[in-house]
Structure 1
Amino acid sequence: MAGKPAWWRKALWPNGKDGLKTRQGRQAAWRRLAVLGAGACATGLAMLLAFHVGQDLARSLAGGDDDAPQALPTALAEAAPAPAAQAATPPAAAAPAVQTPAADTPFVVKSVLKIDGPIRFGQFYWDESQGQAGPVVITVDLTARVLSVFRDGHEIGATAILKGYGDKPTPLGVFPITQKDATHVSNLYDAPMPWMLRLTNDGVSIHGSKVEKGYATNGCVGVPNEFAKRLFKVASLGDKVIITDGKRLGLGGSINPGA
Structure 2
Amino acid sequence: MALASNSPRESIEAKISYHDGWKNSFSVILGGDEVRTGKPFPEIFLEAAKRLNVDHSSCLVIEDSLPGVAAGKAAGMEVIAVPSLPKQSHLYTAADEVINSLLDLHLEKWGLPPFEDWVEGTLPIDPWCIGGPVIKGFGRGSKVLGIPTANLSTEGYSDLLMEHPAGVYFGWAGLSARGVYKMVMSIGWNPYFNNKEKTIEPWLLHDFNEDFYGEELRLVIVGYIRPEANFPSLESLVAKIHEDGRIAERALDLPLYSSHKNDPYLRST
TM-score range relative to shorter protein: under 0.3
Q: Which structure is higher in helix share?
A: 2
Higher RCO structure, 1 or 2 (CA under 8 Å, sep 6+) = 1
TM-score, normalised on structure 1? 0.20
Instruction: State which structure, 1 or 2, has the greater radius of gyration over its C-alpha atoms.
Output: 1
